[in-house]
Amino acid sequence: MKKMPRQSVATSRSIAAGLTAALMLCACGPQAAPPPAPQAATAGIANPASWPKSASHGLKNAETEAFVGELMAKMSLEEKVGQMIQGDISSVRPEDLRKYPLGSILAGGNSPPLGAPDRAPAGPWIETARAYRTISLEEREGHVPIPVMFGIDAVHGNNNVIGAVIYPHNIALGAANDPALMRRIGAATAAETAAVGIDWAFGPTLAVPQNDGWGRAYEGYSENPDLVRSYASEMVLGLQGEAGAQLPLQSGHVASSPKHFLGDGGTHAGMDQGDNRSSEADLIRIHAAGYPAAIEAGAMTVMASFSSWQGVKMHGNRSLLTDVLKGRMGFDGFVVGDWNGHGQIPGCSNESCAATFNAGVDMAMAPDSWKGLYENTLAQARSGEIPMARIDDAVRRILRVKYRLGLFDQARPWEGKAGVIGAPEHRALAREVVRKSLVLLKNNGGVLPIKASAKVLVAGSGADDVGQQSGGWSLSWQGTGNQRADFPNAQTIFEGLREALQSSGGLAELSVDGKFKQRPDVAIVVYGETPYAELVGDIQTLEFQPGEKQDLALLKKLKAQGIPVVSVFLSGRPLWVNPELNASDAFVAAWLPGTEGGGIADVLVAGADGKPRHDFHGKLSFSWPRTAAQLELNKGQANYDPLFPLGYGLTYASTTTVPMLAEVSGVSAATTNAGNYYRNGRSLPPWQLALRHDAKTTLATGNSADSDGGALSLRATDANGIQEGGRRLRWSGSSEASVAVVSNAAEKSVNLERQANADMVLQLQYRVDSAPEGPVSLAMDCGAGCRGAVDVTSIFNAPPAGQWRTVKFRLDCFRKAGAKLANVVEPFVLSTAAAFELSIAEVRLVADPAGAVCPGQ
């Protein structure tokens, strides 16, 4: 890692030094640690006595327990086991419930309502909910009518339904620093969820992200556990209503599910679904901060985390799920698993896992494995592998929640209620949230606010794109593939600016590439991260656009023309943007604001009197990095040295001037990902997948791409249990074409000699969908006239087709075939002229040569 020039470091530090007054405005001050709790005697096993005590409110009373007890006395073992399984509507049909009496269904991020296209309005969702509910409540022999519970990821509004209001993501809500606002957002989200027949929102997320490279960082409110604690109860109360209230569902509320219990925000190296290696004291102090408050607010369910603690998978950690959560914390609701999370427990599979139920999961989320899991769980109950007492406890908890929520009351006045989806008052609330969440990082020369009569150029990829401003979990899991028509009630950032300016005699000209017809008084450039969600969003450097910086080039072009430049930066985390800050007169961290882009204009554009219509309110709830290497940058840690500290945020009254910043990132993107090319549906910077035909290259930056002439196509496919985690390649056989890993870094080549000498291998995870009808080669390119290719036809012709497999190639194979490994430009080039269909899920270097092959040598 390169060190920054000492003078630049000292200059940059002056920014933080001069912001004491700004920090005092934020309630998220120093994180004082309580006395440390005793460390767990055995790795991954908690000591309940060290944990805070709490108790559920409003879930248990004599009436409820009597109703549940009477119902359970009528249920067969088959029906009890069914209550403990949740399947996804993409694989469960309503009629399946007659044989498999599942307790719950969910709609995953990419699961549309029955018979509907990928994106649907309220009507098909209501019909889908009623179809499953009707079957579950049928009067038939051997069946106790129990309503199925329908859950969904409504994580920033009911983000699954066309026309619903999408609020800013949680990272933005943290910047608003307004707990009371959370209850209002929760209530509005619940209303738009209940209105389409859905009973249960999988939220709030109470993770406390400690590594900003984590792809779910934007789902956390803050790195500061105190702020997360202050939000937890408010969001639960907003979603569910007051603890103990009668029939929440009938008044437009839904069940909540604080998640992910526990420690998902603190995994080693920020790896999604990884291992949290914290001490028990830090697990309590940081990662459990929000749960006692959520439980006391009446949270009906809690979702278990994919992650591990000290090597023990949370889905199988009895000490935390049962002894701590249900015991010490007094949680009376039920614990639901995450998407096939039980299958990650050693000794388990997606279809069989007694261990997860014995550990304390009450309802397993088995989206596509529900049938096998039901049958195996039933057998394990009959054999005693899962004790009857554990089954009865799980079912009692599930039925308790269903009763308290109001599922047994067939009157559902909120379902299908007119005027709820996209209600004006919900849109107004979302716009207010956008205003309050904006963080002003720089305003040199007072370029903001913009005069209402000004001529404004609005440029950048995010200026007129609701999908980009909304981010992941917006109509699709990753937030990709959306069109403007999918957001009928939305306003883009440009549309909001145009409305504000035109109302006072100003002018807004849209030009994504920055070319203008009339010279503007000021340019607002809207750019940032493109949508992503879990797994796909994991990164190893905080540098924005490592390599070719297209947005920076636009900023510099406008700046060179003497036009004042305002950056509106869209991101799900703080990123190293020193070059972009230097090229901007003003810089606004807008996070992922959702569907009400007009909230940005409310703050940036002055009123007709020249005064701000709204001041900046937001303060950083995550520390902003000084270098791209500061993935773990949290207030209170040793050597805390941010560019902008936790709680920073200017207002129009601020006089702070941000000096020129050092533009040495502290990491080399090519070095950071020298051996990580493609994983989990995402090319890792600076690498990209590219399709090549007749010397013409097409970059595959999204879920689909086609080479010039159509000889090779690429489409998204599921892999490793991850939606869109792979890419399916189809060679037509018309002529030779290649898929390659290419770099967009300034330095195009990497030196793989060290890796070859260390016996590292190129690992490919693949699935043959249709065997090749001719020769296939795999190569490493090292510049003009330099290539090492090996014949891999036999590998892809080997049975069985249709199954995911992994093959490892020794790097030395390519060296022996002619590649100069000291100067590798393209580390993966797969070519054929034959018809061939292949899916890939991973291309990377690994330090595990066992079983590696060297075809043809």
Which residues are tagged catalytic? 338, 534
Instruction: Yes or no: say if 547 and 567 are a contact pair by the CB < 8 Å rule.
Output: no
Residue 683 neighbours by CB distance under 10 Å: 22
Residue 390 neighbours by CB distance under 10 Å: 18
Q: For the chain, give percent helix, strand, coil, nearest 5.
A: 30, 20, 50
Q: How far is CA 447 from the centre of its chain?
A: 34
Give the Cα separation of 258 and 301 in Å (integer).
7
Instruction: Find all residues with CB under 8 Å of 109, minimum gap 6, and list them.
Output: 153, 160, 473, 476, 477, 478, 533, 723
Among 325, 333, 201, which Cα is nearest to 263's? Answer: 325
The structure tokens listed for 560 are 């060179």
The structure tokens listed for 849 are 């040569």
At 577 the three-state DSSP class reads coil
Number of helices and strands in the chain (H, E): 24, 30
C-alpha distances (whole Å) from 406 to each of 17, 143, 248, 688 are: 54, 20, 6, 50
How large is the angle between the packed helices 424-437 and 179-194, nearest 10 degrees?
150
Query: What count of residues does the chain have?
Result: 857
The structure tokens listed for 124 are 């098909």
Instruction: Find all residues with CB under 8 Å of 773, minimum gap 6, and list them.
Output: 733, 834, 835, 836
Helix H or strand E encompassing 715: strand 712-719
Give the Cα separation of 576 and 224 in Å (integer).
20
Tell me the residue type at 792. Answer: V
Among 244, 156, 163, 148, which Cα is nearest to 197's? Answer: 148
Instruction: Yes or no: say if 596 and 434 are a contact pair by the CB < 8 Å rule.
Output: yes
Residue 220 neighbours by CB distance under 10 Å: 29
Instruction: Find all residues with CB under 8 Å of 148, minimum gap 6, and list them.
Output: 97, 102, 103, 104, 105, 132, 133, 135, 136
Q: For the purposes of burial, counting CB atoms within 10 Å of the CB of 655, is it exposed (0-12), middle (13-18) or buried (19 or more)? A: exposed
Helix H or strand E encompassing 780: strand 776-781
Q: What are phi and psi of 397, to 5 degrees?
A: -65, -45
Give the Cα separation of 543 and 215 in Å (integer).
14
Bridge partners of 770, per DSSP, are 837
Residue by residue, what is the 3-state secondary structure of 360-405?
A: CCCEEECCCCHHHHHHHHHHHHHHCCCCHHHHHHHHHHHHHHHHHH
Which stretches does DSSP call E strand in 461-604?
A: 507-510, 522-528, 565-570, 586-591
Among 371, 523, 367, 543, which Cα is nearest to 447's? Answer: 523
Give the Cα separation of 348 and 497 in Å (integer).
54
Give the Cα separation of 369 and 34 in Å (integer).
43
* Buried b / exposed e along 161-195 (16+ C-beta atoms within 10 A): bbbbbbbbbbbbbbbbbbbebbbbbbbbbbbbbbb
297: left (phi over 0), alpha (psi -120 to 50) or beta: alpha
CA torsion through residues 712, 713, 717, 719, sign: positive
**Beta strands 312-313; 308-309: pairing state:** antiparallel
